[in-house]
Amino acid sequence: MTAILVENLVKKYKNGVQALKGLSLTVKEGEIYSLLGQNGAGKSTLINVLTTYLHPTSGSVTMLGKDIYSGAAAIRTDIACVAQRISIDTCLSLTDNMMFQSKLYKIPKVEAKKRMETLINCFELERYLKYPVASYSGGVKRRLDIALNMMSNPKILFLDEPTVGMDIQSRMAMWDMMKKIRDDFGTTIFFTTHYLEESDSLSDTICIMKDGKEVIQGTPHALRGYLRQDMVKISFAGEEEAKDCLKLLKSEFINEKAHLGKDEILINSENSHGDLKIVNRWLLENSIAFMGIEIVQPTLEDVFIRLTSKNEEEGN
């Protein structure tokens, strides 16, 4: 069943900024869905609309079979949202924070205690119980924030950049937590990120968005060619050198999918080791001054460049 269906969503802020420009997407029930986009792409705006906090300018949203406008009150009891800023009360203890949350949702005390114990146990928060919340690291505070939001047993959990600024250990703990929420509680997770590898390794479906619109949506497997395809990168001292070399390279390797980056040339490659050798030899034989050559994984910016050049090739 479809958890969220967004069609042609437009959001124009009062100051004239159009943050969403006709965005459409589909989230399936029980999946981890990631919205991947750079700063200012419109991710938080979309979350604010989906969580009924902001009114869109036009377009339609159906969530759990209900229209978001007429069914807003019912939808609010079925969803939870962890915003970009942490919302826990650092003056209260971990358990007081959780019990306070249950009061907001009017959960009976006995039931609330049971849920709290399950969540503390499931997310391995026991070891923090004896310390004041104010002393927790950013990563643990964020995990507690998510545990709080799970107290209401939401059908859909929205997370806005849950791992931003975290070190790798905290990020991995967060990924485990998100998988547990999907697998043990059956909750649909909708999260935003600008980390390519996070979207790739964690989600069932990825939507890449840019400038208020979806660019492509699919499983990590289907988007593999964009997210994981190796590239051969040649670095230069400046942009002009890179441009000159690209012209020459394209005239000699007609089939190579090479494009210009900043002071560099990137070549999409299915056989990166073989291509690296060939291109390296060609550079040396033609006495081209370059700074380095290596095999790299695409960044989000590279993915956008590829997606845009694909659209141009197709005449879109």
List, in order, residues 6 or more apart from 134 with CB less than 8 Å away: 90, 91
Amino acid at 94: L
Collect all residues with Cβ–Cβ distance below 8 Å to 232 and sequence separation of at least 6. 266, 267, 269, 272, 275, 276, 279, 293, 294, 295, 296
Burial of 24 per CB tally in 10 Å (0-12, 13-18, 19+): middle
Residue from 2, 7, 8, 13 touching ligand ATP (CB under 6 A): that is 13
23 binds, among Mg ion, ligand ATP, none (CB under 5 to 8 A by kind): none
Give which of ligand ATP, Mg ion, none residue 45 binds (C-beta under 5 to 8 Å, depending on kind).
ligand ATP
Which of 293, 304, 224 has its CA nearest to residue 265?
A: 293
Instruction: Tell me whether residue 73 is exposed, middle or buried, using C-beta atoms within 10 angstroms of its C-beta: 0 to 12, 13 to 18, 19 or more.
Output: exposed
For the CB of residue 161, give the shortest distance to ligand ATP in the complex, in Å: 6
Q: Nearer Cβ to ligand ATP, position 101 or 199?
A: 199
CA dist., res. 203 & res. 220, Å (int): 7
Binds 15: which of Mg ion, ligand ATP, none (CB < 5-8 Å by kind): ligand ATP
By CB under 6 A, what part of segment 14-43 binds ligand ATP?
Answer: 15, 17, 19, 37, 39-43
Site string for ligand ATP, 144-183 (x = CB under 6 A): ----------------------------------------
Residue 157 main-chain phi, psi, to 5 deg: -115, 125
- The footprint of ligand ATP on this chain (CB under 6 A) covers a number of residues equal to 13
Least distance CB 56 / ligand ATP (angstroms)? 12
Q: Which does 217 bind (CB under 5 to 8 A by kind): Mg ion, ligand ATP, none?
A: none
Q: Which residues bind ligand ATP (CB under 6 A)?
A: 13, 15, 17, 19, 37, 39-45, 194
